[in-house]
Amino acid sequence: MIGTKPLLICGASVIVIRDGHILLQKRKDNGCWGYHGGCLELGERLEDAAKRELYEETGLKVNSMNLYGVFSGPELHYVYPHGDEVYNVDTVYICEDFEGELSADTAEVSELRWFAFNDVPDNLSPPVSGIIREFISQKLSKDS
């Protein structure tokens, strides 16, 4: 599509957790932290897209994951720094069972880092900030 018309984007994402920590990536496009994911390719299953994106961005392979939720609405509206405007529908999975060595995709990711649930950075990427904060709040209240 050419022009500045907003697009509806279907995404698949993965929140990776381990021992009270969440793995976040610092995005190159906006300098903010977020979880791992991206857009579905034509004909691709959501689960496969989530696994592919996680591997591409982090070098980690999913052994198993569970559906966390499907998120949409005005809070997932975003205008990228290059001007693309999107309304995201994001299917988010939780993964605690993974393997591999961390290796950031240098095209999209400037840094990968584990954060304690109660020490997540303030500069979360706008379209995923609310989802991350909700997830962490649920984990902290469940674990206390």
What pLDDT score was predicted for residue 79? 86
Beta strands 7-18 and 85-99: pairing type?
parallel
Q: Residue 36: inside a domain, yes or no? A: yes
Convert 1-29 to b/e letters by CB count within 10 Å (16 or more is b): eeeeeeeebebbbbbbbeeeebbbbbbee
CATH label of the domain that carries residue 58: 3.90.79.10
Q: What is the pLDDT confidence band of residue 144, given thresholds at 50, 70 and 90?
A: low
What is the number of domains present in the chain?
Answer: 1
Higher per-residue pLDDT: 86 or 4: 86
Q: What is the pTM of this model?
A: 0.92
Catalytic residue among 44, 47, 85, 111: 111
Query: Which band of pLDDT confidence, cut at 50, 70 and 90, is reported for residue 106?
Result: confident
For residue 135, the enclosing domain spans 7-143
Q: What would the pLDDT profile of 34-89 be if each residue is shown by its tens digit?
A: 999 999 999 999 999 999 999 999 999 999 999 999 999 999 888 888 878 889 99
Residue 2 is assigned to a structural domain of this protein: no
Q: Is 111 a catalytic residue?
A: yes
